[in-house]
């Protein structure tokens, strides 16, 4: 496939492929139609032949070239599959397009300091675990690190002191930057305001601009309550102190934090499944204790 792509990348060779798609032709005629010298045309045709997209046969004093459709059909299938992946409903490209639309709107609105103050965002998730278990995932750094970023990012540094006045530090990198060799994507710092285990968590968090200034202040309130065998989690984001440069951050709140909560729900569901499977395996295993 790489050889084929390299062969087709040259405009002169692409012109020859178009001419051969019409019908097989000798090299002299191809050179004339392509308005090129015959030695150059011959070299281009030899490249296309090595790539498997044309074949040739000597007939008398002429060498006739013909198109081989198979490789082009294979390439068309591969390109179609790439396009289908990019257009997949709900996929990464759809998320990117949604963010770009939000980003354009927020940048147009960010004309003066305070432009986004009093903006708010709300989220709700029904979770499979009880509030006391969810609370641990909301406040313990070794559990937070698994879900507290959108899909395309990963936490690279995290401090979360789950008591009033406790410090919060969140640094994140690209998810595929596994060795930390690329620049940090972002950093946020804040403080915990309220922590009632299993019930309510409130904190302030400010994403930092490249020069270290806060982009805005997010006032985040999380409320937990039992719901059947699981929990209901409600989250409220309120914005204050918004700067003109905060548009890029605010544009990603709804999508980004929504993805984070989805990761939390998935993590808790997997933990519940593992716990239930382990419990079932233990309950159904034979009793091997001695009866003597």
Instruction: Indicate if 130 and 59 belong to the same structural domain.
Output: no
* Residues sharing a CB contact under 8 Å with residue 11, sequence separation 6 or more, in sequence order: none
- The mean of the pLDDT values for the chain is 91
Instruction: Indicate if 252 and 141 belong to the same structural domain.
Output: yes
Q: Residue 18 has which token pair?
A: 């178009």
| Tokens 């079932």 -> residue | 280
Parent domain of 263: 112-274
| Tokens 């949604």 -> residue | 98
Instruction: Indicate if 136 and 200 belong to the same structural domain.
Output: yes
Instruction: Indicate if 132 and 58 belong to the same structural domain.
Output: no
Instruction: Indicate if 149 and 234 belong to the same structural domain.
Output: yes
105-161: per-residue pLDDT in tens?
999 999 999 999 999 999 999 999 999 999 999 999 999 999 999 988 999 999 999
Query: With contact defined as beta carbons under 8 Å apart, do 121 and 102 qualify?
Result: no
**Alpha helices in 110-161, H assignment, sequence order:** 131-139, 141-144
DSSP symbol at 163: S
Query: What dihedral do alpha carbons 249, 254, 255, 256 form, nearest 10°?
Result: 60
Specify the CATH number for the domain of residue 222. 3.30.530.20
Instruction: Indicate if 205 and 131 belong to the same structural domain.
Output: yes
Report d(CA 119, CA 217) in Å as an integer.
11
In a domain, 202, yes or no: yes
In a domain, 159, yes or no: yes
Instruction: Indicate if 138 and 225 belong to the same structural domain.
Output: yes
18-74: per-residue pLDDT in tens?
999 999 999 999 999 999 999 999 999 999 999 999 999 998 888 999 999 999 999
Instruction: Indicate if 136 and 215 belong to the same structural domain.
Output: yes
Domain count, the chain: 2
Query: With contact defined as beta carbons under 8 Å apart, do 148 and 155 qualify?
Result: yes
Report d(CA 67, CA 22) in Å as an integer.
9
Please state the pTM of the whole predicted model: 0.72
Burial state string for 39-72 with b = 16 or more CB within 10 A and e = fewer than 16 = eebbebbebbeebebbebeeeeeeebbebeeebb
């Amino acid at each position: 496939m790489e050889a084929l792509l390299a062969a087709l990348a040259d405009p002169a060779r692409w012109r020859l492929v178009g001419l051969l798609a019409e019908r097989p032709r000798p090299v002299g005629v191809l050179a004339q139609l392509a308005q090129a010298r015959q030695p150059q045309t011959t070299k281009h045709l030899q490249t296309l032949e090595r790539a498997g997209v044309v074949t040739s046969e000597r007939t008398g004093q002429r060498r006739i070239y013909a198109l081989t459709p198979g490789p082009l059909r294979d390439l068309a299938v591969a390109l179609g599959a790439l396009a289908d992946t990019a257009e997949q409903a709900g996929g990464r490209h759809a998320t990117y397009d949604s963010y770009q639309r939000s980003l354009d709107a927020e940048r147009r609105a960010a004309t003066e300091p305070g432009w986004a103050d009093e903006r708010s965002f709300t989220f709700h998730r029904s979770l499979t675990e009880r509030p006391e278990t969810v609370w641990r995932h909301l406040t313990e750094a070794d559990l937070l690190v698994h879900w507290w970023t959108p899909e395309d990012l990963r936490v690279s540094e995290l401090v979360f002191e789950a008591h009033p006045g406790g410090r919060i530090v969140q640094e994140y990198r690209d998810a595929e930057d596994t060795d930390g060799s690329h620049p940090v994507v972002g950093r946020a710092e804040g403080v915990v305001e309220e922590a009632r285990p299993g019930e309510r968590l409130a904190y302030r968090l400010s994403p930092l601009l490249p020069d270290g200034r806060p982009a805005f202040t997010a006032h985040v309130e999380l409320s937990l309550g039992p719901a059947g065998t699981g929990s209901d989690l409600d989250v409220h984001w309120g914005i204050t102190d918004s700067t003109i440069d905060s548009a890029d951050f605010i544009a990603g709140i709804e999508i980004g934090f929504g993805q984070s909560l989805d990761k939390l729900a998935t993590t808790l569901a997997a933990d519940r499944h593992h716990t239930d499977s382990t419990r079932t395996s233990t309950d159904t295993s034979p009793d091997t204790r001695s009866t003597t």
